[in-house]
Structure 1
Amino acid sequence: MQMLSKVQDNTLGVSAFRIDYAPNGQSPPHIHPRASEILLVLEGTLYAGFVTSDNLNNTLITKVLHEGDVFVFPIGKISIAYFHGQRAMGY
């Protein structure tokens, strides 16, 4: 995984960046405590998800994303992304 650029404005609660994954690349579980993340798949296929919690239950929300798909990781949720493919991809 290579992060090519990143712009973040904490006052708006939004960040923007581009990530390129090597074949079978991944983003390990992580949290964005101050900003939601909007993901746009530029090429390839990506498995993405996040964990919701209501203090009683944890639920994993996942989606298989293809070129042109958009996905939102809500602020403060545990997020994951995994690229399962034979060539590099970007979002």
Structure 2
Amino acid sequence: MRASFRGRVLPARGAPIAPLRWELFPNPASGVVHLAKPTDGRTATVEVTDLHGRTLLTQSFTAHSTSWHVAGWPSGLYFIWVKDPTGATVPLMVGRLVVN
């Protein structure tokens, strides 16, 4: 199963740019999770937190996708945050991942 997320980025002049598409799969997961981003060439940082706000993963990537293993993680709900190069959470993707 793939979860898709759409975000909208507004430039300074207020005219919308086409929505960006992010994909997180598989979800639910028990092995390797993949996060694919638009091929815009920008660096992004993915951060995964648990329900208590503890960070389990922080990983920067410029390529179209990145992956990580969740096999040893406890079953539950995790939050996925994507940040821009300045560290600000951008409206590109905030999602949920279920590990079983």
Write 1 or 2 for the structure with the bigger share of strand.
1
**TM bracket (short chain):** 0.3 to 0.5
Q: TM-score, normalised by structure 2?
A: 0.39
**Taking CA–CA contacts closer than 8 Å with sequence separation of 6 or more, which of the two structures ends up with the larger relative contact order?**
1
